Every structure is written in structure tokens, then in C-alpha cells.
Amino acid sequence: MTSVTILEEFSRDQLLDFYKDMLRIRAFEDETLKYYEVAKVYGMLHVAHGKEALAVGFAKNIKPNDFVLASYRAHDHALMKGIVMYRLAAELMGRATGINKGKAGSMHIMDDKTRFLEDSVVGGQIPIANGIAFAFKYLGESSIVVCFFGDGACNIGAFHETLNMASLLKLPIVFVVENNKWAITTHVSISTSVDKIVKRAVAYNMIGMEVDGTDVLAVYRVAKKAISIARNEKKPVLVEAHTVRIRGHYDGDILQPYRPKEDIEQHRKNDPIPKFRAKLYELGVLNEKLDKKLWREAKLEAEEAYKKAEKDPFPPPEEALTDVFPGEEAKIPPELTLLSVKDVEKAENMRMITYAKAINEALHEEMEKDDKIFILGEDIRWGGVYRVTEGLLERFGPERVINTPIAEEAITGLALGAAMMGLRPIVELMYTFTYNIAMDQVTNHIARIPYMSGGKFKVPLVIRSPNYTLASVGAQHSFRNEAWFMHTPGLKVVITATPFDAKGLMKTAIRENNPVLFFEHARLYHVRGPVPDKEYYIPLGKADVKRKGSDVTIVTYSRPLYDVLKAAEELSKEGIEAEVIDLRSLAPLDEETIISSVKKTGKVVIVEEDEITCGVGAEISALIMEKAFDYLDAPVKRVAAPMVPIPFSKPLEEYVVPNAKDVIKAVKELLG
């Protein structure tokens, strides 16, 4: 393109504006390295040298209400999205005035006001981007999402799941591959099966574009076109931007022994700032005097940002305990709050309905009240495998009842992004074992983004899934993992056994402004129980004493409750009165009800289906030892599955899964 053509397309001020922002990014990163060398910036550091043209070219087409997501090398995108340089510097120094109160550091910069999120998990932000774009479309906003990630992220499942779903749902999003040809030490020619990543757009029926990411004007043009398609045509675009990595993968990777010297030299020659400077000199827009002036201004801004941040205090130590659950707890009208089925006074208000029907009613009632609630999952439009979502499609339509591909990372990531934007998603995972597939989004993102953001992002979402035992479905489907999530800060864990509890707690979980994992049990879906015909809610974190007793406390939850109650009746015939506690919530855990019962009986048996090692019973045993040891007349007894996968054969499975006989045996052994 000739100089005349460029000056016809861009004004002098525009060209200088591009250059100034590129200098701002470089100056900030240079100053960051100085502070890193003396350990005032610390942790892992990845600087954006070489990406300036890409960040600036896109930023000039992005509106304030658009959302930008990027990988851990993203100080450039943070600055371009409007995060104040001083607040960014303070965050990198771990100061209280940091954009995320010192809880994010270099790799997790986030801000709800400027609508920016940086992620340290390779490709972890890609599914979240879908959710944010979904929310914009759902709410009728004209905003779009731009999601940046490296070439290494294009080979993970989340990339493929997300692009497929974005195309299916026609989401307003631009996916940008920052292809510098190196995923840490691995060259793209070794890691990637196609010679150009943009070719993968064809597989997902989306438009693909390619650009020289070191040419800010070329980036600007492609970004303008891609963003226009996303905004006006409401469909995703994949852009492959060929960029450079001038320094090592992280600041300690100085020598880069895995890279040929000529490759390093070639990347340095393609440094976008000298390239654009030369172009501006050629156009007569820039001269040496102005160039030095702009450099001084950029450096001065970076120096002053760090000097100011350095004077700021570190956060007080106790700040570490805040923002785990930044959302408000569910607001429940006092007159509609019930703690137990026994609280329902009039018997004529009770109906005998199934566990599945109780959950179905909860979903209908809450979706009726709030049009920001939507539900997504595999096969849910037809009721799901267990018919729990039956009738939702007919009542609320396909916009709020969304069938998804089999893609658990994309499903949970979409829910997260949508929740961050104020929607209230309910996810159905077909089986509990699929949490293993969705683990990155659930534990690295849903549980931690509210905290890392310093409370800026709330995540009001529910994930429902059924446990499955005693059905001869083998070790992979018969999977119990609720204890994993009890150990994960930032998640609330509910697990119910009766229709009454299932409905009341589901309604509360949906109103909660923090993430709730709601465990159901496939063997309970057809169990019937009393449920009021009037609306009610059960608070999270409140156990229920299902049976009073004075000789021994039996603590349990989920399907084993029925075995425990059966065992308690048998024991009663022998003069042994067991008090049965149904936990209902594992996080938060009702310590008060447990300890109160232990103080009364002096003896405890804990019953669960999960494997015994590091299970829920182990945690409760430790709790009792710490807070009620002096009241114990005997050691705590645990009844749980042995440390084996659940087998297929009926006699083998029945041997492994605890039953009423095992409970009776444990109680009698405890009583001596």
C-alpha cells in the first residue's frame, strides 16, 4: 500500500495515536521488568513485547461495552481496554490498591467496569468468552466479545468445543489466535496438524481471517471487518494473527536454548514498534524530535505509575479471607422459609410426589419469576435422561431451554460467562462423572474468578447432576465425587435425599448469588415423598434431624439416608435409639447440628456411599474431634465404600456400596 493511500485512509492524528499506545504498552512492560529484577514485581511474569500492534489494532475497533478476554501475557490488552496503568502496576506489586486488591497478580487481571478478563490456564478463557457473548445476545445488547489466546490453545478440547458451540448458537464473538509460533518450547509445526490455524474455521462453519499481527494498520483493518461481522451479523469469526515473541516465554527464560538463533533474530527484526516507526518516518508523520518526545511521555507515565504504586500499602493479611463468596446469599422471604418437612403444619397441604417432580417444580417456579434464569445441557429439551426438565421447553421456549452438544467444558464455561454478566444459568450435567471433564471450568474458573477478581465478578449459577450407584453401570458412571468439591473454596455443595428437601433447596440454590453444585441421586428420582402445595424455601447449610434419638448419632446424606433410617428402625426394636442427621449441604456444613447431637449421644457413626479415604466422613470426624472430643464415649465410626472403583456385577456392587446391615453392624460395634 502506498504512502498516499495510507494517508487517505488514516489521518495524521490517528497514526500517531496508534504509535503512542504501542509505546505506552512497551514502556509499561520495560518498567515492569525493571521492578521484576529487584523483586518488587514478583510471581510469574510474561511480558507482551511484540504484541503491541495486535493489541492496538483491535483496541481501536472495540467499544467500551465490549468484553475482552486474553491469556496470561495480556498487560497490553488490559491497558488498551482502559485499566489505569497505576492500578495495573499496583496489582503486579501485590498492593491493596491493585485493580484486584492484590489477589490477581500478573496473570489474572480482571475488571467488571472496563469488561476485561485475563486467564492463566491455557485456553481457559475461551469457553467463558462464549458465555459472555451469549449473555449479550440474550439481553439484546449490541456488545461483542473479543477473545485472544495463543497458538498452543488451539489444540485443546476447550477450543474445539467452544468454537463448535459458538457457531451453533450464532454468538457475537471474535476469536483471535496470537500465533507467535511457540507454545513455551514447542514450535507450532510440531504441535499443530494444520499449516494455518485459520483453516480450522471451516470445520466450525465460521468465517476465518488471517493477518500480519506485527502490522498495526493491517490488524486494524481485519479487526474492523471481523468485529463488524460479529456485531452486525451476530456470528463468530476466527482470526489468526501472525505475531512475534521477542523475549522468552517468561522472564526467567532468557536464553531460550530450544529456539534456533535465526528464529529469535527474525522475531526481533519483526518487532512491530520499529516497523511502524519507520513507516511513520516514511509518511512524514513522525520525526526524531517528536519521536523522542512521545517516548519520554510513555516512559514517564510508566515510571510514575510504578512510583505511585510502590508507595501504596500491601493489603492487610486478613484480606486473604474475603471475596471467596462475594455474592449475597439467597434472599428468602421469612414466611416462606422452612427448615424441615415437620414445619409444615397442615397435612392437607402435602402431596406425595417424586424426587424428580419436586426438582422439576422448583425449576418451573423459579424460571417463572425471573427471566434471567435459563437452563442448558445435553438432551434437556426433551426432559433429559431422567425427565427432570420435562415441560420446560414448552413453557419457556428454546431461548431459555438450550440443548447443547456433548461438551462439558463449553457448557460450564458458557454458564460462567453468562453468570458474570448478570444472568442466572442452571447447568445440567448428565452424570456426576462428567465433572471430571468439566473440572477446569468448575474448579479453576467458576470457583476462583470471584476471588481473583477481588469480588468484582459474582457468579450466580447452579450445576445439577445425578450420582449413580446400585444400577450396574460400571466404574465410570458409578462415580461419587462430592468430597472433591467440598474441598474447593468458592463452591457451595448441596446434596439431597428427599423430594421435600430437593425442591426447597433447589429453589434456594437458584436464588443464591454464588456458584452452587447441586447433587441429585439417580436412584432417588422415582422415590415419592410429602411436598407442600405452597411455595417454600430451605436455607443452604442447614442439616435436618430426620429421626430423634439418644444412644447414637448417625450422620449421613443422599441415598444412604434411606438405609440409615431402615437401620435405625431395626435398632430401635433392640432398644437402641439412633438420632439420624441428614446433612443436605456439605458446603456450608451445619457444624452446630452435628456437634449438638454428638454432645447429647456421645457416640457417632458417619455413613456415605463415597470411598472412605479423604471423604466427607473424614472431614466430619476431624470436626467432631476438634469441637466435641470431650463428649465422645467411643471413637467415631465410619461406614463408606472401600477404596475400589464401583464394579459392574450385582453381588460385587452390593458388597462395595454400604447398606442398612453395614450401618447396624457399625452401631453395634460402637456400642460394644
Looking at the structure, give the CATH architecture of the domain made up of residues 3-82+111-283. 3-Layer(aba) Sandwich (3.40)
CATH 3.40.50.970 in the chain is located at: 3-82+111-283, 334-532
Q: What band does 156 get if pLDDT is binned at 50, 70 and 90?
A: very high
Residue 517, SS3 per DSSP: strand
- Which amino acid does the sequence have at 333? P
| 157 vs 146: CA distance, rounded Å | 19
- Which amino acid does the sequence have at 257? P
Is the pTM higher than 0.75? Answer: yes
| CATH number of the 334-532 domain | 3.40.50.970
What mean pLDDT do residues 371-384 have? 94
Residue 163 grid cell: 468454537
Q: What band does 397 get if pLDDT is binned at 50, 70 and 90?
A: very high
pLDDT digit string, tens, across residues 589-633: 999 999 999 999 999 999 999 999 999 999 999 999 999 999 999
One-character DSSP codes across 394-446: HHH-TTTEEE--S-HHHHHHHHHHHHHTT-EEEEE-SSGGGHHHHHIIIIIII
Please pick, among 477, 512, 521, 579, the residue that the annotation labels catalytic.
477
Given a contact cutoff of 8 angstroms between Cβ atoms, the answer to whether 196 and 158 are in contact is no
Residue 625, SS3 per DSSP: helix
- The H or E element containing residue 500 is helix 499-511
Please pick, among 408, 409, 482, 520, the residue that the annotation labels catalytic.
408
State yes or no: is 445 an active-site residue. Answer: no
What mean pLDDT do residues 468-481 have? 83
What mean pLDDT do residues 185-201 have? 93
pLDDT at 186: 92
One-character DSSP codes across 60-104: TT--TTSEEEEESS-HHHHHHTT--HHHHHHHHTT-TTSTTTTSS
pLDDT at 345: 67
Tell how strand 116-119 and strand 67-71 pair up.
Answer: parallel
| 626 vs 224: CA distance, rounded Å | 62
| 569 vs 555: CA distance, rounded Å | 15
State yes or no: is 574 an active-site residue. Answer: no
Burial 198-209 (b: 16+ CB within 10 A, else e): bebbeebebbbb
The answer to which of 82-91, 286-295, 647-656 has the lowest mean pLDDT is: 647-656
Residue 524, SS3 per DSSP: helix
pLDDT digit string, tens, across residues 327-364: 999 999 999 999 999 888 666 789 999 999 999 999 99
Residue 261 grid cell: 538463533
Looking at the structure, give the CATH architecture of the domain made up of residues 544-671. 3-Layer(aba) Sandwich (3.40)
Percentage of the chain surpassing pLDDT 70?
99
Residues composing the chain = 672
CATH 3.40.50.920 in the chain is located at: 544-671
Given a contact cutoff of 8 angstroms between Cβ atoms, the answer to whether 495 and 359 are in contact is no
